[in-house]
Structure 1
Amino acid sequence: MPVFPEEPEIHESLPGPGVPFPRESDAQALRAPATGGVPTITPTTVAAPATVPGPRPAPPRPAPPRAARPGPPRSVPKPGPAPRRPAAAAPQVEVRRIAATPAQALERADEAVDLLLDSGRDPAGILVLTVGEAHPWQQHELSFGEERYWAQLADGGDVFYADAALTRPARREAVVLVVNGGTPARAAAAYTEALGRATALLVVCGDAGPAAAEAAGAASGRPVTA
């Protein structure tokens, strides 16, 4: 009887490529190591897609120049001299004349001061100037010394009596000029000085020359009577 060689024992082997596993559990069992440990999964590195450079941005285009508007060319005015401002008009001073002889001038001046105070004038706004002899009130104040006398002018709180040739700065709202002596030239000069010290009213007691007479006549609007 012929002896046949033993047929090789066919063991189950892994399927070939492209052949799927019959069951998912069989595939997991085959991937597990022989020792029975947890199967290891080898990480797969996926290459990042290459960046494709895009088109470069075009530089901004310059704005087209604006077309000039039709019209006549503008003329630039040449700088000229600045216009002069009108000078401020000097305040008008009213001039009143009280006819009196040199002997009567002081008495008429005191009456004029009383009338100014009765009309509401502030005593600090009245200045009395004498052309001849000093006013009795001025002589009384000088008896206490010149320092005290001139301090009253600086304080400006009351009627002040002084000589018409006063050299210190003094301006009052109302000035009373007493022509109680002196030469006509001195009286005329005293009138000019007194007019410059008054801001609203000048009362001339006596004759201070033609300039004072004309100013008093123009202020009153009628001829000056003696």
Structure 2
Amino acid sequence: MQLVPSTTRGAVDRADDTVDRLLESGRRPDTVLVLTVGEPHPWQQHEIGFGEERYWAQLTEGGDVFYADATATRTVGREVVVLVVNSPVSTQGLTKAARAAHALAGELLLVCGDVDTVAPLFPGAGAPVPA
């Protein structure tokens, strides 16, 4: 698990940069799951525009990075999960999202958000990822 420091407002952009780096380093898109704690990721909003059934079919097909809400119950694990803390959230809500993301991450969990808010939930986290 690694922290990716960002502001709450900048968490989505930081997550997008993180996903780009993962893909550039050789990770396949179908091994990455991005979960948002606040407002849905813009790509998720775009894909849902084609209908819920089509949106969820993409998860099953597994051909690309998948974007979902951290509270979604239909998600499945992937090698890498990027948890995006893009909204102020209660400690209880963040703890629930963090547990769900951790359970879904096969190899690596990256958490994009305010370090002061996120770090206490992950005492064994690796050093923050530099910008």
Same fold (TM over 0.5): yes
| Equivalent residue in structure 1 for 2:109, among 198, 202, 212 | 202
Q: Counterpart in 1 of 2:124? A: 215
Give the Å deviation of 1:169.
4.3
Q: Which amino acid aligns with 2:101?
A: A
More helix by share: 2
2-structure distance, mates of 1:128, 1:225: 17
* 4+ residue runs over 2 A deviation: none
Is 1:172 aligned to residue 78 of structure 2?
yes
Give the Å deviation of 1:189.
1.5
2-structure distance, mates of 1:180, 1:107: 10
| Equivalent residue in structure 1 for 2:34, among 128, 139, 145 | 128
**In the superposition, relative to structure 1, how do residues 169 and 132 fare at CA in structure 2: closer, same or farther (>3 Å)?**
closer
2-structure distance, mates of 1:127, 1:199: 11
Question: Where do residues 45-194 of structure 1 align in structure 2 (5 Å cutoff)?
Answer: 95-185=1-91, 186-194=93-101
Report the TM-score, using the length of structure 1 for normalisation. Answer: 0.53
More strand by share: 2
Q: Which has the larger radius of gyration?
A: 1
Return 5+ residue gaps in structure 1 as ranges.
1-94
What RMSD, in angstroms, separates the aligned Cα atoms of the two structures? Answer: 1.7
Give the Å deviation of 1:183.
1.5
1-structure distance, mates of 2:67, 2:124: 24
Structure 1 vs Structure 2: percent identity of aligned residues? 53
**Contact in 2 for aligned 1:102/1:181 (Cα 8 Å):** yes
**Contact in 2 for aligned 1:188/1:209 (Cα 8 Å):** no
Q: Which amino acid aligns with 2:121?
A: A
Q: Counterpart in 2 of 1:70? A: none
**Higher RCO structure (Cα 8 Å, ≥6 apart):** 2
2-structure distance, mates of 1:200, 1:169: 16
**Contact in 1 for aligned 2:4/2:113 (Cα 8 Å):** yes
